[in-house]
Amino acid sequence: MNSASVGPAIPVVIMCSSENATVISMTTVSAAEARRLALVAQGFGKSPRGRVTTEHLTDTIARLGVLQLDSVNVFERSHYLPMFSRLGTYDTALLDQMLLDPHVPATHIEYWAHEAAFIPVQSWPLWQWKMRESRERNERPDSWLAQHRKLADDLLSRLHSEGPATFSQLDGKRDERRGSWWDWSDVKVALEYLFEDGVITAIGRTNFQRIYAPVADVIPHHLLDTVVDKPVARRALVLDAVRALGIGVLSDIADYYRFKVAPTKIALDELVEAGAIQRVSVEGWTHRGESLDAYIVSGTAIPIRAPRVSTILTPFDPITWNRARASRVFGFDYKIEIYTPAAKRIYGYYSLPILFDDALVGRIDLKADRKSRTLIVKSAHWEPKRPKDAADRLSDVVRRAASWRRLENIVVDDWGDAAADLRQMF
């Protein structure tokens, strides 16, 4: 394949029905229009009428481009929630089969595409430049991997001959050889370097441990053999970030795939010149009194109405993972308080943003007591503005969340004004 022809992995065009959209032809977008663009681009308001299928899940991951992982499991692990937020109740076993159960050839793999995240395997060629740069760093004589090359080669050989394996399966007598990096063993450190280098990948997880495999054994050869130059790949990923965000400023777009700002700006300028994206301004999006440049995919349609949505988000949803963007787009100042001492927490240990239509109206801290099959609302707080039917809509969200996780009981603790509303209903 000619590298110049390679575009974003599994491109998704933002489409709206003609009666609910206008094609952007102006240079200024209202704040409300920007919110609608962001939500529609992310797939909100598109929940299927019937049962959620593997195809729905695949399409949603493709639309997002990246599905971030996180180990916190108080209510549910983070990577399950974006599907629930967009599609509604679904069987998580379907997502497990796609992402966690190892299969060859792989359809989704794990990489540092934002933080640790699942990505469609088709995007592999667009990340090879990053892997190549990592390999070059790790080939320097003074690098850790160069000094432990025999160990790394032995691990790779075992994965080739014995098949995919977790760190625990490969580590053996781990207590006898501890490393200095986060108290990991040398085996774990070597695996992480090989993973970063693109020599091995993760084709699933078990007990939240990566299942490692050599890329040559699990990724289709036509993807491994596709060479994409770094500037072309970066442009493709930057374009994909603009598409996934719907609308964003430079810092938003750079953050989506964790690029540095300067090369992202170069890619954006090239894409504007090529006509792939256009530069606009958004009312109220300013920095030190100056209007910020925002970017959209050329020909994008603005929804006339906000999507009808009542749901919760993971802290690592693309809508909220960039706290500065969540504040600018939605007026929502957000942080999780896992590392805040309990006595100093304002909203709770792991509060989840509440999304109603095009507004983030509050946050709710949920805990699944799986032994007693109970969903506990540890706290719930409203933002200053919310719709009149907010309490009814939130109670419906809580019921759906409990049903989704097969929890039979709901208990609401007395912390927060939204919790007070819920206590009258449960």
- In tens, the pLDDT along 62-93 reads 999 999 999 899 999 999 999 999 999 999 99
The answer as to whether 168 is a domain residue is: yes
What are the residues whose beta carbons fall under 8 Å from the beta carbon of 346, sequence distance 6 or more? 337
The Cα–Cα gap between 234 and 263 comes to 8
Please check whether residues 110 and 31 belong to one and the same domain. Answer: yes
Q: Is the pLDDT of residue 323 over 90?
A: yes
The Cα–Cα gap between 259 and 262 comes to 9
Q: Is the pLDDT of residue 218 over 70?
A: yes
The answer as to whether 344 is a domain residue is: yes
What's the average model confidence in pLDDT over 201-223? Answer: 93
What's the average model confidence in pLDDT over 49-71? Answer: 96
Which stretches of 217-335 are assigned E, i.e. beta strand?
A: 248-249, 277-287, 290-297, 301-303, 310-312
Residues 160-185 as b/e (b if ≥16 CB within 10 A, e otherwise) read eeeebbbbeebbeebeeeebeeeebb
Please check whether residues 196 and 52 belong to one and the same domain. Answer: no
Rg (Cα) of the chain, in Å, rounded? 23
Question: How would residue 266 be classed by pLDDT, with cut points 50, 70 and 90?
Answer: very high
Range of the domain at 260: 27-122+226-297
Give pLDDT tens digits for 364-422: 999 999 999 999 999 999 999 999 999 999 999 999 999 999 999 999 999 999 999 99
The answer as to whether 41 is a domain residue is: yes
**Percentage, residues of the chain above pLDDT 90:** 85
Please check whether residues 267 and 201 belong to one and the same domain. Answer: no
Structure tokens at 85: 């937020």
Instruction: Give the model's pLDDT for residue 25.
Output: 53
Instruction: Give the model's pLDDT for residue 175.
Output: 46
Please check whether residues 234 and 153 belong to one and the same domain. Answer: no
Could you tell me if 363 and 353 are in contact, meaning their C-beta atoms sit under 8 angstroms apart? Answer: yes
Please check whether residues 49 and 118 belong to one and the same domain. Answer: yes
DSSP, res 425: T
Please check whether residues 35 and 115 belong to one and the same domain. Answer: yes
Instruction: Give the model's pLDDT for residue 171.
Output: 85
The answer as to whether 278 is a domain residue is: yes
Q: What is the mean pLDDT of the chain?
A: 91
The answer as to whether 133 is a domain residue is: no
The answer as to whether 239 is a domain residue is: yes
Closest C-alpha to 91, from 49, 60, 51 = 51
Count structural domains, the chain: 3
Give pLDDT tens digits for 144-193: 999 999 999 999 999 999 999 999 999 874 444 444 444 468 999 999 99
Please check whether residues 214 and 234 belong to one and the same domain. Answer: no
